[in-house]
């Protein structure tokens, strides 16, 4: 149409009920003119395609194959829009073919496009992104892909309501998935599969929306500017997007996930993308962000819940949800997400749609932890940095020589980290405390070749259990799992000594369960006195908010409360991987090694020997969470965790939003299962070296045998690695070193 003079008389003849106005714009699929319905006084926009546009040769009738194709695409757009009655999709009112014209009468959007639009509130970009995502979800639900999401196709009504427009190159998703027939779309926003001609899916549109949101938050492209088209397409296919520190960490994480090269690694649907983005923005800006954004939106209940609003409550002004409930109003905060400033949900956490979100940090830990500015300084052992190499504990100062290994990690109510080190030699295990100020020192065990200072005798060279005495005088044999009790006491699973030990706040150490390394010295019964029980190589340990202890024991998991021990999962004599869907006490495990307990009592078990993570609910039923028994690997990111493969998972931790973190030790990475059951890698990479990568993206740095993980109340992740280092992954996904391992590690 751009090649020909607009014939208003012909258009008026085809639309006698409308009064035509000015031309609004031109594009690759016709000219758009303003109009008004004479009887009902409704402003509209008329998209016009003429036979001259249909026939490249300018002949009448448009009978060439190119003309038929363009007319068919124009008609397809009319049909697509007619079937999409969605508040964030431009509405169609009529379609007319007359006198060589194709006329599409649609809603008039006078608020301009997203390109160059000034956004008011801090959450405005997220509000627009969420609205676009649910609009795309509606289109995808009808089997339609947009294939050209970009700022020019996100328009606004006069009151600022965002609308997805221009479905001119939309394609019906066929049973075998749509594929491109040539380069269709806009290169700057084109998904990798569009470039290669691979099968398309809803994830194709989500990639383009991710690029749009990246530009909104970062103020720049995810790739270097001014790239020629060939280089730009190469970046879409093969080059990681540039980090986006301009955006809050949780929001950046969601956007970067949408830009994954593999479609299966992106959000599972437009609705899933909307829920994740809404929850991430709630974590970053607080539950009032949707009202403050100034963007009128109509959203599904689960998105409103994630955005911090409770459907069904009408208070104050705001845009209206499709079911008649206000979207932009204040309400109780929704369950928060990992990363960013975190707010504890009022009254628990269950988002709309029935998906439970388990909050995982005990109440005392959250309250105390939030009061601490948990900014651990990097501790580098060596030189003359004696302040960081000594710890005064219970009147005895012992020089801290560093970690030989790092197995378990826990967070104290004062913001300090506690780390267990099994030691290079028997009896040289140690428990180390890293204060929030960056000081590191022993609190239990003698450690490797200790060097006492002052007038204090050296620890005895002979094995000393040390119960009832000072923790620094006790010999520790391969301490592994570590947890902090609600009273601040440190609990540890001493694997080579067959015990669970407790270090009180006054530095006194005692045994709370287990007898010795010999089964002949203790009971193997399922229930009984904890101090008389034989524990077979206990490695995983966790403590709930009431002080109940859970510990791995051979092929089973035990529970310790009030001096009594019982079995909660597994058999003491039989290994295997059976029993999912039935009672956990009848199930079989192979090598349970890591535990995490949610506040609602759900227990998660990392079964290293089976390469799986399993779950025991409050009724005692066991089910598979991630991995496949006996099949090790590293697959499944971006998909349901139950279909992923793991490799020797060890430590587990739960974030405040219910996300489960897995130290996937054999893969040298940390994986995360979000509240929707989708697994992803959040730290570690086999493709990068850890050398000189301080401050890099966590997924671009190699980790050495991660064994323990813990999440602080701010959402930062701490990882205990087999090379004796402690690494920190910030909420914006950058990695730093808190404690370095020995030089030869």
Q: Which residues are annotated as a binding site?
A: 47
Considering just the CA atoms, what is the radius of gyration of the chain in Å?
A: 30
Rounded to 5 degrees, what are φ and ψ at 146? Answer: -80, -50
Backbone dihedral region for residue 567 (phi beyond 0: left; psi -120 to 50: alpha; all else: beta): beta
Q: Is 240 exposed, middle or buried (0-12, 13-18, 19+ CB in 10 A)?
A: middle
Chain centroid, CA 684 distance in Å: 15
User: Which residues are paired to 256 by β-bridges?
Assistant: none
Query: Is the Cβ–Cβ distance between 582 and 622 less than 8 Å?
Result: yes
User: Which uninterrupted H or E stretch holds 679?
Assistant: strand 679-683
Give the chain's length. Answer: 745
Cβ-proximal residues to 225 (8 Å cutoff; 6+ apart), any chain: none
CA distance linking residue 296 with residue 299, whole number of Å: 10
Of 579, 648, 676, residue with least CA distance to 302: 676
Cβ-proximal residues to 83 (8 Å cutoff; 6+ apart), any chain: 142
Binding residues for ATP: 47
Query: Is the Cβ–Cβ distance between 105 and 35 less than 8 Å?
Result: yes
Q: Is 330 exposed, middle or buried (0-12, 13-18, 19+ CB in 10 A)?
A: middle
User: Which residues are paired to 19 by β-bridges?
Assistant: 36
User: Which uninterrupted H or E stretch holds 484?
Assistant: strand 479-484
CA distance linking residue 460 with residue 442, whole number of Å: 17
Rounded to 5 degrees, what are φ and ψ at 207? Answer: -60, -50
CA distance linking residue 306 with residue 256, whole number of Å: 19
Both structure tokens of 506: 């006054």
CA distance linking residue 373 with residue 713, whole number of Å: 10
CA distance linking residue 124 with residue 108, whole number of Å: 22
């Amino acid at each position: 149409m751009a090649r020909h003079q607009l014939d208003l008389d012909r258009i008026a003849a085809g639309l006698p009920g409308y009064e035509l106005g000015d031309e609004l714009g031109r594009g690759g699929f016709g000219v758009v003119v303003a109009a008004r319905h004479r009887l009902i006084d409704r402003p509209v926009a008329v998209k016009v395609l003429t036979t001259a546009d249909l026939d490249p040769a300018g002949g009448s009738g448009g009978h060439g194959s190119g003309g038929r194709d363009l007319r068919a695409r124009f008609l397809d757009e009319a049909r697509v829009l007619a079937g999409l009655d969605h508040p964030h999709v431009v509405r169609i009112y009529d379609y007319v073919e007359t006198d060589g014209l194709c006329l599409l009468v649609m809603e008039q959007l006078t608020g301009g496009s997203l390109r160059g639009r000034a956004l008011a509130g801090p959450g405005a970009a997220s509000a627009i992104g969420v609205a676009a995502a649910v609009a795309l979800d509606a289109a995808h639900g009808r089997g339609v892909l947009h294939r050209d999401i970009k700022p020019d196709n996100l328009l606004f009504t006069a009151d600022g309501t965002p609308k997805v427009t221009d479905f001119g190159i939309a394609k019906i998703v066929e049973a075998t998935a749509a594929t491109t027939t040539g380069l269709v779309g806009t290169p700057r926003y084109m998904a990798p599969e569009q470039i290669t001609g691979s099968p398309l899916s809803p994830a194709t549109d989500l990639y383009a929306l991710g690029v749009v949101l990246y530009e909104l938050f970062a103020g720049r492209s995810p790739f270097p500017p001014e790239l020629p088209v060939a280089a730009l397409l190469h970046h879409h296919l093969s080059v990681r997007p540039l980090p986006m520190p301009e955006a809050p960490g949780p929001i950046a994480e969601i956007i970067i996930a949408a830009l994954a090269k593999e479609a299966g690694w992106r959000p599972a649907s437009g609705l899933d993308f909307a829920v994740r983005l809404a929850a991430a923005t709630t974590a970053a800006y607080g539950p009032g962000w949707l009202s403050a954004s100034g963007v009128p939106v109509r959203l599904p209940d689960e998105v409103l819940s994630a955005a911090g609003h409770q459907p069904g409550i009408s208070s104050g002004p705001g845009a209206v949800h499709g079911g008649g409930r206000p979207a932009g109003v204040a309400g109780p905060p929704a369950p928060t997400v990992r990363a960013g400033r975190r707010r504890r949900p009022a009254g628990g956490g269950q988002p709309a749609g029935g998906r439970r979100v388990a909050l995982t940090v005990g109440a005392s830990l959250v309250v105390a932890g939030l009061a601490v500015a948990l900014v651990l300084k990097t501790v580098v052992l060596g030189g003359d940095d004696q302040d960081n190499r000594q710890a005064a504990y219970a009147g005895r100062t012992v020089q801290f020589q560093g970690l030989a290994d790092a197995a378990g990690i826990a967070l104290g109510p004062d913001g300090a980290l506690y780390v267990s080190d099994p030691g290079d030699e028997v009896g040289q295990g140690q428990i180390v405390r890293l204060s929030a100020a960056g000081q590191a020192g022993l609190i239990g065990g003698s450690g490797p070749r200790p060097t006492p200072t002052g007038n204090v005798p050296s620890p005895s060279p002979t094995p000393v259990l040390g119960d009832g005495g000072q923790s620094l005088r006790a010999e520790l044999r391969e301490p592994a799992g570590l947890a902090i009790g609600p009273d601040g006491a440190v609990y540890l699973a001493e694997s080579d000594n067959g015990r669970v030990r407790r270090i009180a706040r006054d530095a006194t150490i005692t045994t709370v369960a287990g007898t010795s390394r010999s089964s002949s010295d203790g009971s193997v019964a399922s229930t009984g006195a904890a101090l008389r029980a034989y524990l077979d190589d206990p490695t995983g340990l966790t403590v709930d908010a009431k002080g109940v202890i859970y510990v791995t024991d051979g092929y089973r998991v035990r529970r310790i409360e009030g001096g009594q021990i019982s079995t909660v999962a597994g058999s003491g004599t039989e290994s295997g991987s059976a029993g999912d869907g039935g009672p956990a006490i009848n199930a079989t495990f192979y090598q349970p090694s890591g535990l995490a307990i949610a506040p609602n009592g759900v227990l998660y078990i990392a079964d290293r020997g089976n390469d799986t993570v399993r779950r025991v609910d409050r009724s005692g039923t066991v089910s598979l969470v991630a991995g496949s028994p006996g099949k090790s690997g590293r697959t499944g990111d971006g998909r349901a965790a139950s279909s992923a493969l793991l490799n020797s998972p060890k430590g587990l931790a739960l974030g405040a939003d219910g996300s489960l973190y897995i130290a996937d030790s054999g893969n040298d990475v940390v994986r995360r299962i979000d509240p929707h059951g989708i697994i992803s890698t959040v730290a570690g990479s086999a493709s990068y070296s850890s050398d000189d990568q301080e401050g890099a993206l966590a997924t671009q740095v190699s980790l050495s045998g991660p064994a323990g993980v813990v999440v602080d109340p701010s959402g930062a992740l701490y990882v205990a690695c087999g090379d004796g280092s402690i690494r920190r992954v910030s909420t914006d996904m950058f990695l730093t070193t808190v404690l370095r391992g020995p030089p030869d590690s």
